[in-house]
Structure 1
């Protein structure tokens, strides 16, 4: 069974808005709804679990009802940081998950996720135990110690940008978080970061430059532009 674990536990301080960014509306629809609909409509996703920032659970229920997201089976409270939110989600489905099930962890604020990326993450995970959406680095990468000047060029051919979704076999990812807490690690941002910390390889799956993470105000503008582009492209194809 494949479970999508959508992370909606952040408060979006960098965005400077009064409400968490995953609940902001773009073209009249909450960002979370865009994201969840992709998983809702994916044939390989059996169920969706949302990890939600405290106090916004009713809004998730409202989005579930409004947009027909009947694959959402559980809403789990988020934690004080990203690691706690993810582990809350992982351990919060232990009672309904088998060791060889797959959990697909995804940021709610990456609403331009597509079916093909999800499918490839699952396929790579089935083969290797994990599969993380990734893309090559196109820009020049320079190391800096002070963010004022650079001192070393990093060979971009040896670097990949890792995104979400990230798919993991359940027994492996649950053990990962248990090992992390036993080791006193409590603030790792992403699951792949923990994997590398413990010397466990991550395997690259298909990603996309369009799979942007909404972090700043300009990202919302970019998301809206991309939405309009794909909408006009779809309309053009329909009329052709």
Structure 2
């Protein structure tokens, strides 16, 4: 007789990295988005995407790009052979709108069995350890930072850690509540989860 498996086997969890590349570069006076600037022969976006391409804990990557530069990002993905990138989509008019568009694009996945990592495209110095630590933490927590007590306004921030990692059900529920709030205003995705 063979041993039986558990009556409720754990369903496999899918991890999707959403690379946020919707910025325009205007805050620092650029005509081209900073994620398309080249460093060591590659765009910053390509450096960032290679990190997620190599991450064994990430199954898929979606790029949310500045709407005027979607074809540029698609060309970068094609030329670099980035197989995990499933889609390059236009971002929204704000960080929160872009996150919502990404969540809508992932609506075909089960919210109960999907993790989402949101990462700023212009942060290419991300380590594999940080990605793995975020994904591992989501086995126990609904959001990686469950000790956040306050998030300052974005104009006062100079540095922030990404990726911000969530179980899909948590971030979807938080945004559903946020959009119903007439006073909705958030610095980033962690602040949406914290508030809602």
For the criterion TM > 0.5, the same-fold answer is yes
Q: What is aligned with 1:72? A: 85
In 1, are the aligned partners of 2:111 and 2:167 still within 8 Å (CA)? no
Q: For 1:61, what is the secondary structure of its paired residue?
A: helix
Q: What is aligned with 1:127? A: 140
Q: What is aligned with 2:46? A: 33
Q: What is aligned with 1:178? A: 176
Which residues of 2 match residues 66-215 of structure 1 at below 5 A? 66-132=79-145, 162-198=160-196
Structure 1 residue 185, shift from structure 2 partner: 4.6
TM-score (norm 1): 0.68
Deviations 1:209-239 (A, max 9, x none): xxxxxxxxxxxxxxxxxxxxxxxxxxxxxxx
In 1, are the aligned partners of 2:20 and 2:120 still within 8 Å (CA)? yes
Hey, which of these two has a bigger chunk of strand by percent? Answer: 1
Q: For 2:161, what is the secondary structure of its paired residue?
A: strand
Write the distance in 1 (CA, Å) between the matches of 2:62 and 2:89: 7
Q: 5+ residue gaps in structure 1? A: 135-146, 148-160, 199-240
Write the distance in 2 (CA, Å) between the matches of 1:185 and 1:60: 34
Write the distance in 2 (CA, Å) between the matches of 1:189 and 1:10: 14
Write the distance in 1 (CA, Å) between the matches of 2:195 and 2:184: 13
Write the distance in 2 (CA, Å) between the matches of 1:54 and 1:37: 22
Q: For 2:186, what is the secondary structure of its paired residue?
A: coil
Deviations 1:176-202 (A, max 9, x none): 11110011255422111112223xxxx
Structure 1 or 2, whichever has the larger Rg, is 1
Deviations 1:117-150 (A, max 9, x none): 0000111121111114x9xxxxxxxxxxxx9xxx
What do you get for the CA RMSD once the two structures are aligned?
1.8
Deviations 1:28-70 (A, max 9, x none): 2100001010000111110000111112111111111121111
Q: 5+ residue gaps in structure 2? A: 1-13, 148-155
* CA pair 186-12 structure 1, distance change in 2 beyond 3 A: farther
